[in-house]
Amino acid sequence: DTAVSQTPKYLVTQMGNDKSIKCEQNLGHDTMYWYKQDSKKFLKIMFSYNNKELIINETVPNRFSPKSPDKAHLNLHINSLELGDSAVYFCASSQDPNIQYFGAGTRLSVL
Amino acid sequence: TQLLEQSPQFLSIQEGENLTVYCNSSSVFSSLQWYRQEPGEGPVLLVTVVTGGEVKKLKRLTFQFGDARKDSSLHITAAQPGDTGLYLCAGLLSSNTGKLIFGQGTTLQVKP
């Protein structure tokens, strides 16, 4: 069983479109995160939720809106996609912030 | 802006050689985590160091946390081709928020 699963694995779309990435964890963790990895492999935190409550909201454009329907799910919706949004997006979860489990990533390509 | 400087960014060595990767910052971290990432996969946690001066060993990998909890190193002894991958250090700024600051990563290639 995959601990942190995100879908889709690949997402290719046109500029201006709206898309969503879903994430689910079956580890029973209270905290979930979204990270963005750029073309140089640099990983940066975007958001974190603890028990459905927003904890971290980095300087991310408000076109990005996370939603946590329950503590096992954290989805990321992106409006009006731009070329610069192309990246790999990783979901992660933790019970202890010293030990974070990452999903396999969603590679987003905006054309 | 909190930064974690990781070096070197790229390393290509022969099998059997030793290597060290460094992460340095002016910020104090609650802990320092080391991850390894394979192509097409997410980062996988190798180790977390929490106490200043702490040393942890994982087979041929030795991790050290600086006394002031601002820096860390990863030393690999007798590198093998299976060690090839992207190594990432990440500092935990606050255990309350779980906010991790990542280094730029070190791409290691070990040639047979």
Q: Is the pLDDT of residue A56 over 90?
A: no
For residues A35-39, average pLDDT: 95
Separation of alpha carbons B106 and B103, rounded Å: 9
Structure confidence at residue B2 (pLDDT)? 60
Low-confidence ranges of chain B (pLDDT < 70): 1-2
For residues A37-64, average pLDDT: 91
Structure confidence at residue B98 (pLDDT)? 83
Helix, strand or coil for residue A85?
A: helix
B60: amino acid identity, one letter? R
Q: What are the chain A neighbours of B30 within 8 Å (beta carbons)?
A: 97-98
For residues A25-42, average pLDDT: 95
Q: Is B13 exposed, middle or buried (0-12, 13-18, 19+ CB in 10 A)?
A: middle
Structure confidence at residue B12 (pLDDT)? 97
Q: Which of A31, A48, A98 sits opposite B31 (nearest CB)?
A: A98
A39 touches chain B (CB under 8 A): no
Q: Is the pLDDT of residue A1 over 80?
A: no
Structure confidence at residue B14 (pLDDT)? 97
A60 pLDDT band (50/70/90 cuts)?
confident
